[in-house]
Structure 1
Amino acid sequence: MSRTTKAASAASFLQNMKRGADAAVPAAVEPESSTTAKSASRPKATGRAGLKHIGGYFSPETVERVAVLRARLDLDNSELIKLAIDELYSREKAKRAFND
């Protein structure tokens, strides 16, 4: 990604973060090459059958952290939450094993 594209993308991200929670957020426009690369690397979703939705209400600071992590790790919200839960569960399991 070129510097001007990154700068434009960063400016757009910051502008959207400043909007109120009620404002409609337009879908992000990505270059065609990055869209095809992302879709090829991810397995196709099998749908929501048998899955349970878990949600929450977060402060703007936490929402910003989630957005940054999603971008850096190239994960969607569900994948990011699963990763965080798995890591927390592993830590807690290790604490119990060592009686901490």
Structure 2
Amino acid sequence: MNREDMLARLVAQAEDEGCDLVTLRAVVEEASDLGAVRVLARMGLADDSAHNDLAELRQLLGAWRDAKASAWKAAVGWVVRAVLALLLFAIAVRFGSGNLVR
């Protein structure tokens, strides 16, 4: 018996006997399991290699996040160095060392 048949039987049981809490929980559980299976199938993750695919995607996403963080740190470092160099140049010009630059 597959999940669709199980869900159909539970719904029929709920209609015949009335819906007690146990039957309602069973209907909800089977419906959610069936929905999850359909979603995974639509996304192409219903095969045996889906776990490996997701693990690779997580590794790729982690590497992307690390690279992005490193790029931001490098960019901030370069900006800070440029600001400090300009500040040092302005101080040198202010104290009369501008002739050495020319």
Per the normalisation by structure 2, the TM-score is: 0.28
Question: Higher Cα Rg: structure 1 or 2?
Answer: 2
Higher relative contact order, chain-length normalized (CA < 8 Å, sep 6+): 2
Per the normalisation by structure 1, the TM-score is: 0.29
